[in-house]
Amino acid sequence: MPEPGYTDRLLLLADHWRLRPWPAAAGAAAADLGAVLLPTSCVVCGCADHSLCVPCRALLRRSTARPYYAHEAAEALPGALPVLAAGRYAGGLAQVLLAYKNHGHTDLAPVLRPVLAGVLHRAAEDAGARGLVLVPVPGTARALRRRGYSPLDLLLGALRARRLLPAQTTLAPLVVHSRPGRGAAGPGTRGAVVVPRPGGQKSLGKRGRRANVYGTMTAGAPGSLAGIRCLVVDDVLTTGATIAEATRALRAAGAQVQAAAVIAATPGPARDAANTNG
């Protein structure tokens, strides 16, 4: 009998080829194939034969059952921008996100999809869902090359394909990397941090992190998004510098940024592990 989660992993592998263009699907699909064929253990407790065992899955569901507004602890956010988080970046949720984002555990996407869907529905309801555009924060080109997939886009694409996004909303990657000549990786390349620094953003304080991403994103010419209401979407909220830059780019193009939503928010000053630059 197949192990628990085996079918989910096979379905996820198929999703990459159905939902993502070649060759972007290849890296993620290869990671999924490895997750299907190779022995695995729970990323939280180490239990054999499960990427996330049943008890740890239940704990994760409980830890994300009550979304909360986390913007007050994110010092780099622009004033009056509410950010709703599904849970705190700690314990099992942090371990699952790290495994999913940085260790090739794309087989955990089926676990994280309902978490993201739940916080999006709540945030859209609070912001007024009618006509709202869900705008993902772009990940770095370096992170995309390293992983072979975009963790946030993978989740959002699957939610859209399954019609699980909030009703009366639209998913659109309105924010992209700035043009070459300003440190960008290339036209239309989705990314955030463009000035390489030893240790990434970990070594930077509040002002340094904000300065490191300021001006690195664009959402088009001034006025091109006039009247568009947006909800910014990211996976983890740390200082808020990346969400702040996406918000700045959208507002510079005339959009109204109502709020942001994330899967997890760091609970205190210990933010380094969550800051994975995309």
User: Domains (ranges, CATH) in the chain?
Assistant: 67-274 (3.40.50)
Mean pLDDT of the region 60-76: 94
User: What backbone phi and psi angles, to 5 degrees, belong to 270?
Assistant: -80, 85
Secondary structure (DSSP) of 2-61: PPTTHHHHHHHHHHHHHHS-TTHHHHHHHHHHHHHHS--B-TTT--BT-SS-HHHHHHHH
Mean pLDDT of the region 166-172: 97
Please write the tens of the pLDDT for every residue from 178-234. 865 443 333 333 333 333 344 445 445 555 566 678 899 999 999 999 999 999 999
Q: What is the mean pLDDT of the chain?
A: 81
Q: How confident is the model at residue 75 (pLDDT cuts 50, 70, 90)?
A: confident
Distances (CA, A) of 101 to 94, 185, 250, 274, 276: 10, 21, 26, 10, 9
Q: How confident is the model at residue 78 (pLDDT cuts 50, 70, 90)?
A: confident
The distance in angstroms from the start CA to the end CA of the chain is: 37
In this structure, are residues 110 and 8 in contact, taking their beta carbons and an 8 Å threshold? yes
pLDDT at 4 over 50: no
Please write the tens of the pLDDT for every residue from 253-273. 999 999 999 999 998 654 444
For residue 134, give every residue at least 6 positions away whose Cβ sits within 8 Å of its Cβ, in sequence order, or none: 120, 124, 156, 165, 166, 169, 170, 171, 172, 230, 231, 233
pLDDT at 132 over 60: yes
Q: Kindly state the DSSP code that residue 150 receives in the 8-state scheme.
A: -
